[in-house]
Structure 1
């Protein structure tokens, strides 16, 4: 059933409910590092009954095509929106990715993997630098401080290696063996 098949009162009631959900989605998109307006754009696409062009989104949200383009590009990069092809249309069309599990996996795997790689590189380089410093210093108090810093850095490396394995479980889908997508209703 499309929105047009509802009477005016039903349309207004449904729009009110949708607006409440879109507002909540928009407010919570900061988890993904997304602005409120881009979160609202995602909410608009979530309830759209067909793929939308940038112009249609701009009209609906009362925003410029440039703002829509920036928001859509962000959502595309996060794999939360897909560009789709429609026969007879020369404009780019976009629709939301409805598999929220996959969206979660993609987003956190991308972000966490980047953080893991960056932090592991920094930690490993710093540990090696401290190794040289420890070997060169003869002051015991300085050596103790450097060794303690190295210990803390090695613990951080262990954490990032664990996080790397967690990312592997997200990317492989193995996470769903540990935490199923749906939980059976309790009797």
Structure 2
């Protein structure tokens, strides 16, 4: 390849990483995690932390942290290659299912936590007489109902065949 062709290919690769990363950031990945995932996804072979660092121009520590987070989301896995002493990582396939499953589970966990926190607030409110108590109770009830409605929607999505 010529130098111009290499430069153009690098430019296209960077544009893909940039645009695809923006989408992944909507799934609560930070910019580095999103860029790393896309880099691993586009790369034809598993990568070491050093290769990731060089590819993204970030520190090895940042790559290590991002890889761990991506592993927590079940989006990246460590792989073995005979004769290679360093840890290798690659993006898992089946993007849609992996991201939707992660996203829906995170929503359900968050909703459950919020419902419990609102219920605790409601219990605390019951212990203290207050002139606006009825208004607060009504608003808390509405907030809990809203969260439960979202919980039902995400539970249906989770039960659907495409997850």
Mark yes or no: TM-score above 0.5: yes
Q: State the Cα RMSD in Å.
A: 2.5
Q: TM-score, normalised by structure 1?
A: 0.72
Q: TM-score, normalised by structure 2?
A: 0.81
Structure 1: gaps of 5 or more residues = 1-6, 178-187
Tell me how far apart the structure 1 counterparts of residues 109 and 29 of structure 2 sit (CA, whole Å): 17
Shift of 1:34: 3.1
Question: Aligned in 2, Cα 1:163/1:175: closer, same or farther, shift over 3 Å?
Answer: farther
Shift of 1:54: 0.9
Tell me how far apart the structure 2 counterparts of residues 40 and 125 of structure 1 sit (CA, whole Å): 39
Q: Which of 88, 91, 95 matches 1:93?
A: 88
Tell me how far apart the structure 1 counterparts of residues 107 and 154 of structure 2 sit (CA, whole Å): 7
Shift of 1:94: 1.1
Note if contact 1:169-1:175 (Cα within 8 Å) is conserved in structure 2.
Answer: no
Larger RCO (alpha carbons 8 Å, 6+ apart): 2
Alignment of 1:122-137 (within 5 A): 122-133=117-128, 137=129
Greater Cα radius of gyration, structure 1 or 2: 1
Q: Which of 147, 158, 161 matches 1:160?
A: 147
Alignment of 1:40-119 (within 5 A): 40-119=35-114
Structure 2: gaps of 5 or more residues = none
- 1:25 correspondence with 2:12: no
Tell me how far apart the structure 2 counterparts of residues 102 and 44 of structure 1 sit (CA, whole Å): 19
Tell me how far apart the structure 2 counterparts of residues 17 and 90 of structure 1 sit (CA, whole Å): 32
Shift of 1:59: 2.4
Per-residue Cα deviation, 1:124-176 (whole angstroms, up to 9, x for no partner): 1222333344xxx4x8xx1xx2112111211211222222223323333x164
Q: How many residues align?
A: 162
Q: SS in structure 2 opposite 1:32?
A: coil
Tell me how far apart the structure 1 counterparts of residues 55 and 115 of structure 2 sit (CA, whole Å): 45
Shift of 1:30: 3.3
